[in-house]
Each structure stands twice: as structure tokens, then as C-alpha cells.
A and B are shown apart, each in its own frame.
Chain A
Amino acid sequence: MQQSMKPSEKLEQVEIKVKVRRFNQERGQYWQEYKLVVDRFTQMTEVLRRIKSEQDPTLAYRASCHMAVCGSCAMKLNNEPRLACKTLALDLVRKYNTNEIVVEPMDFFKVEKDLIVDMEDFYSRMYKVKPRLYPAKEVVENKAEQRLTPEDQKELWKFAQCIWCGLCVSSCPAVRIDKEFLGPAAHAKGYRFLADPRDTLYEERLKVLIDSSWRCTYCYQCFNVCPRDVEPVTTIKKTRAHTKFLKQKSEVAETGEKHVKAIFESIRNTGKLEEAKVYLTTYGLVTSIRDMLYTMRNGKTQLALIKEKKVNEIGQIQKLMGEKE
């Protein structure tokens, strides 16, 4: 106890240099540096607050709760998308082995001023999934009680903890190239209600979520940056599993389903991913021939013509996949 709780008098003080990428309409983009002394408890929101109140009141940023539940202070610190409050200055110093900390606004969103970005795009994605519970009429009228098992509560709460900070969307490569993809946060929110046994909007939610869920590229960047460990990518995976309940599927969803099935078959039969075969099963003969011509023109045909042999321990693989011996 005495050992681990060091007295504040003996706190190690370290001088850091904070390099901020700034922007305003009058001046455009520019870099500015500040120096200040911090200790091992100093949060990056506190660094910013002290810069603003002691050195440069013109610096603009968002911050509110400083305990990682409000989601205001999302930004890039040494090129990592993070909440400033949940980042201790000296942890960055240690990790990057330099006293210089680079502070920038989040990627993807339009910068309004300094570290403040326009979040409208993020919010509009969230509203698309109807982010609210629609309970049964009898429940709303107080004629019926709704119960929830502790297990369901635990499962849903994990995904309900999104604080709308925007970090996952700012760092998602798929949202940049695919306008139809809702993005990780909206998927987490959508799934939280899709999976809630008390909700009555199942069909409608499926329609909103399924096609988009097949547009995720599974890069796991949202998983890496989420400050609340919501795991949006897990919700996307779980949403995809609902594809079979949808009567009319979009092309993307149908192709996706075929693709997953093809991969499963390939591994069950050979223990390997037979790229060419998977491609053929997923996209069908016509598309495959068209794409084949394209790859031939680019000199990559040999990749499609590799012959796959079964692995020796195929029996064990099939056992793992739940097949009978």
C-alpha cells in the first residue's frame, strides 16, 4: 500500500512538448507548439485545459466528463485515434519514447476549428438505424411487464455502451469508399436493438442493417480504437448471422452469404482456402470469367490457377468444424 501509493511531493515532473495541428477559416492550417510540465496522473484533457487557461486561450477543442463516458474529446494523439481524457500524457511519452506529443483532429470528419470536427455525418448514420427501443404496445400502456435475463442484459449492455465519440467511424476504411456502409457505431447501435428481445421492429431493422453489414471489410480498426470496448465489428458479424431470416436479400447480402458458405466448404473439403474456387462459388461463372479477363490483362492469372491439395489432417479439421468422424 505505502509502496504503490506514492506521495504527491515526490511525483516525477516531466516537461513535454505538445505539437497541435491547428486550423481556422481565417488562417488555414498551421502547427503550434506548447511546453508544459506534467506528472504521471496528467490526462491529455488536462494538458489541453491547462494550455487553454494558462498559455493560449484561443485553442479550441471539445471536452466534458474527463472520465470516458461522454465521448467529447475524441482526437488523434501521436497518430492514434483516442479519447484525450483516457490517455495519460506520460503513457504516450513512454510508448513513443519521446517528450513530443502530436495532437490532431480526428480523420474523416471535416475540421471546423483546431481539434473540433463536424460530427453531423456521424449523427446522421446513428439516426438511420432508429436508435431507440420500440417496446410492445401492452408494455407501453403498462399492461405487461417486460423482463430480461441477466445474460441478455450483459450481452446487450456491452453493445449499448457506445458513447457516440466517432473514433470508430473516423478510422474506418470502409466508410470512406462505400457510401452504402453505415459504419461501425451505427451497426453497434442497430444490433443492440435488433438483439433486444423486448423490441418490436425486427423486420424493419434487418432491412436497414443486413446489406450494410456485408459491406464491412473486417479490418478490426473499430475494435482497436473503441474506448469503451463495444466491439462494433462483433455486432456486424452477429448481424450477418441474421441474413437467413430476411426474405428479400440485396445482391451484396446474397453474395456475402454465398462467400461465407464457399469458404466453409473449401476448408471442410481441403483444409485450405481455395481462392479460385471460393471466388467462382461466390460470384458465379459469368462474373468470374469477366474478372478472369481483367486479371489476365494485369498479369495475375497465375494466382488463380494454383492447385490446392488437401491437408493431411483433414479429419481433425472436420472434427473441429463439428463434422462427424
Chain B
Amino acid sequence: MDKLLYDVVVLGGGLAGLMSAHEVASAGYNVAVVSKVFPTRSHSSSAEGGIAAYVHGNSDPNDNPDYMTYDTVKGGDYLVDQDAAELLSQKSGEIVQFMERWGTLFNRQPDGRVALRYFGGQTYPRTRFVGDKTGMALLHTLYERVSGLSVDFYNEWFAVDLVLDEKRVAGVLALEMRTMEPSLFVAKSVVVATGGMGMLYAHTTNAYINTGDGYGMALRAGAALKDPEFVQFHPTGLYPSDILISEAARGEGAVLKNNKGERFMARYAPKKLDLAPRDIVSRSMTIEIREGRGFPGGYLALDLTHLGESYIKERLALAYEAALSFAGVDATQEPIPVRPAQHYYMGGIDVDITGRNPDLQGLFAAGEAACVSVHGANRLGSNSLLETLVFGRETGRAVVEYLKKHEGHSSTSLEREAEGLLDEAYRFVKSESGVHFGEILNKLRQVMWDDVGIFRNEDLLKTALSEVEKLRSQVKNMYVSDKSKTYNTEFFNALELRNMMDLAVVIAKSALNRTESRGAHFRTDYPERDDKAWLKHTISYLKGNQVEIGYKPVTFTRWQPEARVY
């Protein structure tokens, strides 16, 4: 097995990974970015609506970073670590200006300054955007910038597992997808920036590549996930393909209506209406559909016809294009058919405000793969692009500090451990019979959608848990029929499914454990938020077949819990 030596290996070539790599490389350390796709194919490219920021001199005159923190804390139903939210708000202006300097073509005001729009849960408009392809614009800018630095990119390499040296992360085992050749990346530190896990759900706005690989790797290496029960559903997935219709549509004035033509959000969030946070709108929509006020087939209407053709085509180009291409609806003439779909994962690898994981020395995480926790129980729109960049940078800086204190590479021989992990992965190829990944995958996605979805209760979650455990045991009997040595994507799909299963069991167990409703985690059997018992983070480990759950306090600075009314 080839051995490659680096100071840092970054897993994932999306915004968080690239930003971390940028910081580490700028400080003069050797960094490798390992990504299973070419970096601009990362899911960051799909982010649409914008990036929230307070920029001095170019924000609403009444706005300030404190309002931003407050909105984030309240939106996250008080499970947000407030020091993290403060940092996010305070650094927001700087990071947006950083991207602007390097060429991101933000939409402009007539005087040449960056333009702003409203997003759900914001007291003042503070979302900066590039039409509704903000993620793509930012990702290309950052990739173009980082590809000009001395960073080694390993594109279309599949990271299999973290390699440990006692309680320290000492490297990564990865395979080049083109040749199937394994390599051991020996590193002083590893940053996991592998993004989210939408493919666990039958309906998701996520890319096909979002299979939660980082969570699976971290769990198997012995690191905990924080708040794994919190899965966000976006209110406006295009019916029926679940392609995201950005919240920007509602930010620009689009209105949700039921089959009676009612603006039903007036009943659920009389003040914020359609711009209430995502969990509230998603649940409201699900109730409307369940109570028979949806359209046949199960969807609602997102009306933006009153905005006018030219405005729609300029500011909501992607929404217009998606509705036309994938639902046959001309959004300038008629409403877009929408329903909620899985969208974002608030839970993630447990890290502190610097991106450092407390379980394993040398392990860092950033972006959706991490839980800082800045989104708490429910993320506000425009905060995830911001998080990837702010905490990608914070993490990169923390890694640099870590490297200053940890000079040498691990002294123990890591090859044996890496060989063991490789054999474990290769079992799927060596088996000659069993089940294919597809048979298990489709069942998993349906169970997660039906029973660990927008509305949860004890019965559903117990069913889900036993079902997921059964499916997970079947993964051991999985086999790969393709034996070829070039782009054996069936083999990689099998490895992805292994990661998805390790994550699914942790989500189901943690959701069953939290007997309250908070943010995106809504229990019909415990419909109230219970601050006395549950104002704490879930910390879940996976030990073999057992999910071990502990807790951590939420960090408070200035904002005490209050009722979440919009």
C-alpha cells in the first residue's frame, strides 16, 4: 500500500473543506484535499438562496450582529451554543468580504454595493446572494482560489476509514476510484468536511453523493455525534422530484396556498407567515396535506406569479428553471407544486467552537459534517453557507495551532491497521453471494422518511429502530457483483451504504431517546419543548451494535429561553 505523508488531510472539497485547506496551506503546511468528486461537484454547489452577513456600512441601519445571534439562537430553539452563534455573526461580514474580494459575483445595488434580501427567521434582511445560485458562485470562487495555492487535490478518491494511533487520529485510508488502488495518507491531523446525509431519506433536496460518509467514519473511529436526532426538512421541495425551490422565493414575496386558495401560514405563524422558520412551515404544510387541504398527490402551491416575469427570471432563475424543466410548470404563469423534503442535518461530529473533536486528538470537523453547534435544533436559511466558510476558516486556523505543537508524525506503524480496515471493506467484493446495496438502500430510505421524519412518536421510532437494526445486520451480508478494477462504483455504493447504516441507527436511537419537541425534532407524544429535562445536547457513540447516549450542556451567553412564537 502506498504511503503519502501530509501535515493535514482534509476530507471533502466543498466550501468547508476548501476553506480549511486554504488556511492551512496559507500558513505553509502541507495539505491534501481528498474528495470523492471533483470539488465543484460538491453539494455546496446546490445551495441557492444566499449567505447571511452583517457588513458594517452595508446592512440595514437597524441591524447589528446581536440581532443576528438572537435570530439564530431563537431559530435553533435555544439548543444553539451561543458563543458559537456570536462568533458566526461577528465574523460574517469579514467572510463575505473575503469572498467578494476573490471574485464572487454577488448581486449589486445600483451604487455598486452588495444587495440584500430577506430570509426566514430574520429580523432584518441580511442575506447576500448571487441570483439563486449562491452556493455555486461561492464554491467556484473558492475552488478557483485554492487551486492556485500549493494544495494537493486527490479528486475522485474515496476515504474508507480514519486510521488511529491509540487515541489519536494519524491518517486516512483512501482508494483512488479510477484504479481502485489504496493509499495510506499519514497525517498529523484530519479535517472531516464531508457534508450531509440526505440520501438516508426517500425525499431529499440533497445530491446523490450526500451519504453521510464522514459521520460513519467518525463513529467507527470512536468519535461522538452531537444532536444526531435533528434532521431538517425544507418546506419547498419541488413536487415530485424534491429539487429545492429556494427559500429565496418566499424571501422575495412568494406565498404558500392550499387547495382552497388560503394563505394557510396565517393560521400557524400570524406574524412571520410564509417566512417563519423551516421546521414550522414544514409541519404546517404536512398538517394541511394530511387534513385534506393539499392537492391530489400530496402537495401545496407556491405562488410567485405576482412578482412579475422579469423579476422572477433574474432573481429566482433556478426556481423558475427547475419548475419548468422538472414539473412542467411556468412559474410566471402558475404556482409551483411543492412539498417538504429532507434538506439539512443539524447533528454532526461533536466539535467545539474551533472545530476540534474532544474524543480523538488530531480530529477536526467543519461544515455540515460537524455540529459546532450553531444551528441548534433548527437551522435558519442563509446560515449554512455562512457556517461552512466561517467555521471552515476557524477550523483551519485551529489546525495550524495544533500543528505548531505536534511536530512529528505518529511513530507507530499504521500499515497493519490500514490493511485491516481495507480487508474489512474488501469483504464486500470478495463475497460471491448475498444482497446488493440497492435492496437495502431503498428500504432504509423509506423507513427513515416514514418513521424518523417530520412527525415522530415512540411507536414509529421503535419500529424504525428495529427495522434499521435489521437492515444494518444485512449490510454484513452485502456483496458487490462488479469485480472490475476501474471505477467500481458498485463497491463505493456499498461502502456508502455501510456509512449510512451506522448513522441511521444513531439517529433513530437518539430520536427515540429525546422525549420532547424542539425545533426540527417533533414528537406527537411529547408536543412541548421541555427545557427542564432537555435543554442539553445529545452526545451519541456507536459501540459495535450499541448506541451509547450521553449529554453536554448548552452554552449560554446572553439569551435566555423564551417561547418560540413567529
Contacts and interface: CB of A to CB of B under 8 A. Distances in A.
Interface in B44-79: 45-46
Interface stretch (B268-276, B384-392, B476-484, B519-527): B476-484
B113 A65 contact: no
B298 interface: yes
A69 B485 contact: no
Contact of B485 (A6, A25, A163, A193): A25
Contacts of B37: 62, 64, 70, 72
A132 B145 contact: yes
Given A65-B45, A132-B148, A163-B40, A57 B325 contact: no
Contact of B334 (A1, A25, A130): A1
B105 A153 contact: yes
B110 interface: yes
Contacts of B112: 147-150
Contacts of B490: 52, 57-58, 60
A140 B100 CA distance: 10
Given A149-B108, A153-B105, A41 B41 contact: no
B298 A4 contact: no
Nearest to B39: A164
B103 interface: yes
A147 B101 CA distance: 10
Interface string B108-139: 11111100000000000000001101011100
B410 interface: no
Interface in B179-214: 207-209
Contacts of B209: 64
Contacts of A7: 295-297
Summarize B's interface: helix, strand, loop or mixed: loop
Given A67-B322, A153-B105, A60 B489 contact: yes
A131 interface: yes
B486 interface: yes
Nearest to B244: A67
A174 B437 CA distance: 43
A57 B329 CA distance: 34
Interface in B418-456: 436-438, 441-442
B45 A127 contact: no
Contact of B208 (A63, A69, A148): A63
A69 B131 CA distance: 13
A52 B140 contact: no
A37 interface: no
A127 B40 CA distance: 14
B327 interface: yes
Interface string A141-159: 0100011111001001100
B241 interface: yes
A132 to B, nearest CB: 4
B106 interface: yes
B101 A8 contact: no
A71 interface: yes
B181 to A, nearest CB: 14
Contacts of B240: 8, 41
Interface residues of A, number: 67
A41 B327 contact: yes
Interface stretch (A13-21, A112-120, A251-259, A278-286): A112-120
A88 interface: yes
B178 A112 contact: yes
B212 to A, nearest CB: 15
Nearest to B445: A53
A86 interface: yes
A150 B110 contact: yes
A149 B107 CA distance: 9
Nearest to B337: A5
A72 B326 contact: no
Contacts of B113: 147
Nearest to B440: A53
Given A1-B335, A70-B41, A132 B441 contact: no
A131 B301 contact: no
Given A53-B442, A127-B147, A146-B101, A67 B318 contact: yes
A130 B299 CA distance: 46
Contact of B328 (A40, A54, A196): A40
A41 B207 contact: no
Nearest to B241: A41
Contact of B131 (A67, A114, A157): A157
A60 B295 CA distance: 38
A301 interface: no
A43 B493 CA distance: 20
Contacts of B401: none
Interface residues of B, number: 77
Interface string A1-39: 110111111000000000000001110000000000000
Nearest to A25: B486
Contact of B437 (A40, A53, A153): A53
A99 interface: no
B96 to A, nearest CB: 13
B334 A196 contact: no
Contacts of A196: 103
Contact of A135 (B101, B131, B135, B482): B101
Nearest to A153: B108
Contacts of B144: 131-133
B105 A157 contact: yes
Interface string B239-260: 1110110000000000000010
A270 interface: no
B102 interface: yes
Contacts of B259: 2
Contact of A25 (B327, B337, B436, B484): B484
Contact of B296 (A9, A67, A112, A198): A9
Given A24-B484, A70-B40, A132-B148, A43 B97 contact: no
Nearest to A119: B38
A43 B486 contact: no
A150 B145 CA distance: 23
A160 interface: yes
A147 B111 contact: yes
A131 to B, nearest CB: 5
B136 A57 contact: no
B138 to A, nearest CB: 12
B493 A57 contact: yes
A162 B365 CA distance: 30
Contacts of B488: 60
Contacts of A198: 103
A49 interface: yes
Nearest to A199: B103
A67 B243 CA distance: 7
A161 interface: yes
A241 interface: no
B293 interface: no
Nearest to B330: A4
A66 B207 contact: yes
Given A57-B482, A71-B40, A135 B102 contact: yes
B532 to A, nearest CB: 43
B487 A112 contact: yes
Contacts of B322: 67
* Chain A to chain B: the 4 pairs with minimum beta-carbon distance, closest first: A147-B112, A53-B438, A133-B103, A7-B296
25 contacts: A7-B296, A8-B298, A25-B485, A25-B486, A52-B490, A58-B481, A58-B484, A58-B490, A62-B41, A64-B37, A69-B45, A69-B133, A70-B42, A70-B46, A86-B325, A88-B326, A114-B487, A127-B147, A132-B144, A149-B112, A150-B107, A150-B112, A160-B105, A161-B133, A196-B103
Given A66-B207, A66-B208, A153-B108, 12 more contacts: A1-B334, A7-B297, A60-B488, A62-B37, A64-B209, A69-B318, A113-B484, A131-B144, A132-B103, A135-B101, A142-B101, A148-B108
